[in-house]
Amino acid sequence: MDLTKNTLENTDYMIEEIKKKLRMASGAALKATALNDELYEDLRDIYSMVASKNQFSISEIEAITSELGRLRR
């Protein structure tokens, strides 16, 4: 999968992986179609950071969730 390309499939994949890694209970509110296409690079940056870590503090999860919320249309 080439995540450098801004596609709905890539966006959906990254969101699902972020939700799994953060064990987000309310992940249903976060959908690929709700994200601003122009902010794809920001989503990719968040995905890369989340994928690189094994554990997250509560404050980190809150910050990541806040950033994901900023990407919504």
CA distance 21 to 17: 6
CA distance 26 to 71: 17
CA 36 distance to own-chain centroid: 12
Q: What percent of the chain has pLDDT over 90?
A: 51
Region 33-38 average pLDDT: 83
Report pLDDT digits (tens) over 40-61. Answer: 999 999 999 999 999 999 999 8
CA distance 39 to 29: 18
Task: Please report the pLDDT score of residue 60 as a whole number.
Answer: 92
